[in-house]
Copies of this chain bind each other. A is one copy, B any other.
Amino acid sequence: MSTEKTTGLQLRSLISKDGQLELSLAKVEVPEPGPDQVVVKVEATPINPSDLGLLLGPADLSTLSASGSGESAKVTAKVPASSLPFLATRLGESMPVGNEGAGTVVKAGASDAAKALLGKTVSMVGGSMYAQYRLLNARDCQALPAGTTAAEGASWFVNPLTALGMTETMKREGHKALVHTAAASNLGQMLNKICNEDGIGLVNIVRSEEQVKLLKGIGAKHVVDSSKASFQDDLVQALVETGATIAFDAIGGGKLASQIITCMEIAINKTATTYNRYGSSVHKQVYIYGSLNTGPVELTRNYGMAWGVGGWLLTPFLQKIGRPDQLRLRERVVNNLKTTFASHYTKTISLPEALQADTLRAYAKRATGEKFLITPNKA
């Protein structure tokens, strides 16, 4: 084990008390690992929608200003004053970013679990991944199978476990099939593969004919296009065929969540035989897990009283299911990173490039099908 100090760049996001967002690169010294810890040279770390919340906050990107280059790259933007009360506990704190990544273990603590990882390529979870080095607990690493690269293992956690979390939540809450929106995403493609493998009915909602073709091409059975005039009828039909009564919605704002519950109610009533004055007694649920549309959610309640809409987040879900079930899901992922859980990147960038104005605006768009990978140790 090397005794030389490990230092490297780490991306930081700071919102000042007067509402200025500042992104920069800090040179940090990584502490030596404790007994159960390892130091990983981060070789690949993706930019997920879930990273953008911490990275950019509610900053107004029309006020974006970039300066410097290389280690001195810096970005600033204004955060609307109305958002500041919700950010009280992060104001003035320089925060590292990046939920997940993969790399090579270059130092390990004294425990067997830590030593077993030395020299291995591992996937990691735990934040602060937009950095050249990361100190973390051995239990937050998962060794990758021989032949799986860091780039292949970088997106092992957020999307794969979210997709698996959806089918697990569906089962635990007593539903037999599910609906997914913005379904042509990386995550959505994974979910189709999982549902096909596990024999689960899945209704995919997409926004273009091109996305219908993409999903049909990977074996999706039910794909409905919300841009078509027949959307509502098509959705009802798919809901009748699958019996789906739970949906996971990446969009959030607008009327889609409510439309889905309306169509579920119509589908249920197509087979109902008696009138219930409060609507069907079958519980209909939409979990909003993303905010592609950050505008208000509009619920037009023509579906009785047996319904719920709420936020869904991976971390509390994982806490609820406990460590043994977490490991079962993690192992399923790392053993299938080239197939079911493969991610595709449209662009690979360095840490300084992540702070260039054009690049930042591109990944901040959260466009379906576009995904950026940061390689912190490449120039």
Contact = CB atoms under 8 A, between A and B. Distances in A.
Interface residues on A, range: 35 or more
A311 B313 contact: no
A66 interface: no
B308 A266 contact: no
Interface stretch (A81-89, A112-120, A196-204, A337-345): A81-89
A270 to B, nearest CB: 8
Contacts of A95: 275
A90 B53 contact: no
A309 interface: yes
B311 A306 contact: yes
A269 B89 CA distance: 8
Contacts of A188: none
A126 to B, nearest CB: 13
Interface in A58-102: 83, 85-90, 93, 95
Contacts of A281: 316
Interface stretch (A20-28, A133-141, A148-156, A290-298): A290-298
Interface string A263-283: 001100100111111110100
Contact of A86 (B88, B302, B309): B302
A303 B296 CA distance: 12
A309 B288 CA distance: 11
A252 B253 CA distance: 18
A54 interface: yes
A363 interface: no
A90 B275 contact: yes
A251 to B, nearest CB: 12
Contacts of A53: 277-278
Contact of A298 (B275, B276, B291, B297): B297
Contacts of A297: 297-299, 301
B301 A269 contact: no
Interface in A305-319: 305-313, 315-316
Given A297-B299, A301-B252, A309-B309, A86 B275 contact: no
B296 A258 contact: yes
A304 interface: yes
**Which 5 A-B residue pairings sit nearest by Cβ, starting from the closest?**
A308-B310, A305-B311, A90-B275, A89-B275, A297-B299
Interface of A: 53-54, 83, 85-90, 93, 95, 252-253, 258, 265-266, 269, 272-279, 281, 288-289, 291, 294, 296-313, 315-316
